[in-house]
Amino acid sequence: MNIKKSYNIDQLRDYSSLFSRGEVSRWYKKDFTSLNLKISRYDTLHFTNNCTYVSYLKHIYKILEKFYPNEYVYKNEFINKQLIKELGVSNSVIFSEFRLGKAVADIVMFNGNSKVFEIKTLLDKDSRLTNQLFQYRKLFNEVYVIAPKSKVDKYLNLDDKTGIIFYDETIRNFSVVRQSAKNSFIDVDILMQVLHTHEYINIVETHYGFKPSFNDFDKFDICKNLIKEIPFDALNELFIGLMKERKINNEFSKKEKHLNQIFLSLNLSHEDKQVLLTNLSSNITH
């Protein structure tokens, strides 16, 4: 199906709602009500019972990519154009929406270093960005902002520490404008909010070579105080190692690239991904 030269903004917003967690959960149950609604509302003449839902989603993604590049598009393109390459050459793991305290990082990667990527599209507001970057520097080795090419100068003026990556929406490619300054500091208060109980106990045991005496009421404080005494370089290495051990499924599709951000954000196993793709490969019925 050909893409039109222009689309109504309400239609674009309606299309963008398809790439959400709620929608994906319905597809697992073979509930395509919302997809069928979009088809009947906008695309009945072009998508018939001989077409599949996955082909329809691919079509919608191309429209969003060209006319409404929202956060989903930015994340998905960054995964496909940049991060998958790094996964192939290093022992890396990627997280989507990584929570630390009150902040939630868009994308985080752990390889030899810890890297965080905050995405700002033309549709986003910047009111919380300064505080977000401040929080990220308390934990990650490298901090980047991914922004539209037309807004790069604005983000370059934020500070001189944050790395800047611009996204050219015309050719759909990313370029590093400025490398992130390297950070070795770790705020243990923030770190303890990220770590699971068995992880901070593991850090203590690995570094000190023994398991301290504690009970359920004081183990957090005891471990936290011991972790505060660990040199930053050693603590950073232990932190990265533990994040790589988490059960994160970084299995992406070469054929259905428009769905890779869905696979990452929902941390889908190989089996779950196959179920989803099988369901979406069924013919449209509306």
What is the 8-class DSSP label of residue 122?
Answer: T
> How many Å apart are CA 48 and CA 11, to the nearest integer?
20
Q: Which residues contact 44 (CB under 8 A, 6 or more apart)?
A: 286
Q: Give 228-279 pLDDT, tens digit per residue.
A: 999 999 999 999 999 999 999 998 999 999 999 999 999 999 999 999 999 9
How many other C-beta atoms can be found within 10 angstroms of the C-beta atom of residue 250? 17
Strands (E), 34-111: 93-100, 103-110
| For residue 2, pLDDT beyond 80 | no
Q: Give 88-125 pLDDT, tens digit per residue.
A: 667 899 999 999 988 899 999 999 899 999 999 988 88
DSSP string, 17-54: TTSSHHHHHHHHTT--HHHHHHIIIIITTT--TTSBHH
Tell me the domain boundaries of the chain. 9-71+250-280, 93-178, 188-245
Q: Which residues contact 81 (CB under 8 A, 6 or more apart)?
A: 172, 173, 174
Q: Classify 56 as helix, strand or coil.
A: helix
pTM: 0.93
18 or 286, greater pLDDT: 18
What's the whole-number mean pLDDT along residues 185-193? 96
CATH architecture of the domain with residue range 93-178: 3-Layer(aba) Sandwich (3.40)
> How many Å apart are CA 264 and CA 269, to the nearest integer?
10
Query: What is the predicted pLDDT for the residue at 86?
Result: 80
